[in-house]
Amino acid sequence: MPRKKREGKYKMKTHKATAKRFKVTATGKVMRMKGNRSHLRRNRPKRSKRIYDRMVPQEGKGYIKRIRRLAPGLWRE
């Protein structure tokens, strides 16, 4: 049986795991949370626990390019 010809463009789908892990700021920076925040935190000093509470910018052009490809819905165009 022959395949049906697709009409129009392909619909872009956002990779949901990527969308949950990263946020994009108004200036276009990709922000992420640090690791080591889940369990066994009560044994750490408060000062080091505070470090994990804020988002940090994602470094590396290759990583940002991959995030952009996986989650195109994060950027407003």
| 2 part of a folded domain | no
CATH number of the domain that 32 lies in?
4.10.410.60
Domain housing 61: 16-74
| 9 part of a folded domain | no
Residue range 17-44, pLDDT digits in tens:
999 999 999 999 999 999 888 888 888 8
| 1 part of a folded domain | no
Beta bridge partner(s), residue 23: 31
Question: What confidence score (pLDDT) does residue 12 get?
Answer: 83
| 36 part of a folded domain | yes
Six token digits for residue 14 = 């956002």
Number of domain units in the chain? 1
Question: What confidence score (pLDDT) does residue 77 get?
Answer: 56
What b/e readout covers 28-40, taking b as 16+ CB neighbours within 10 angstroms?
eebeeeeeeeeee
pTM of the full structure:
0.75
DSSP string for 5-71: PPPSPPPP---HHHHHHEEE-TT--EEE--SS-SSS-TTS-HHHHHHTTS-EEPP-HHHHHHHHHH-
